Amino acid sequence: MESYGMKEVCSAVGISYETLKFYCNQGLVPNVKRDEKNRRRFDARDVEWLRSLMCLKKCGLGIEDMRMYMELCLQGKRSIPQRREMLAQRRNQLLERMRELEQCVAYIDGKQQFYNDVEAGRIAYVSNLLPKGEGV
């Protein structure tokens, strides 16, 4: 079975050396082997697990949540219901965040259109922060 060094894994996963070392030191990569010089060696399954961790991180999971998820994974098939529930909760939080972000984008789009219209002379400038008629 092919194995990879730290730098190869960092390149494959898109993370820094320090991040990979931190995750390993936190026990989040449980099956890493060591070579004769005590350097970490990763196999393809480790690399895929690290890709999963990076996705979980992007989803907003912290170290403790990732550790809990990993511990559930290590229990095998019997923990699938708990993992499904954990991911479902995170999914719902992400969907809510997406709705919030869509509202933010709509606000910015509206402001950009307002500024375009003011600069083009299609509408008068109005500010909620300045007294009426000021800021012209």
Q: How confident is the model at residue 133 (pLDDT cuts 50, 70, 90)?
A: confident
Task: Give pTM, 2 decimals.
Answer: 0.81
- Give the 3-state secondary structure of residue 28: coil
C-alpha distances in Å from residue 59, one per residue of 62, 76, 91, 127, 128: 9, 22, 8, 37, 36
- Give the 3-state secondary structure of residue 124: coil
Q: Tokens 């939080």 correspond to what residue?
A: 93
| Each residue's pLDDT tens digit, 63-122 | 999 999 999 999 999 999 999 999 999 999 999 999 999 999 999 999 999 999 999 999
Beta strands in the chain (DSSP E): 33-34, 40-41
Domains of the chain: 6-74 (1.10.1660.10)
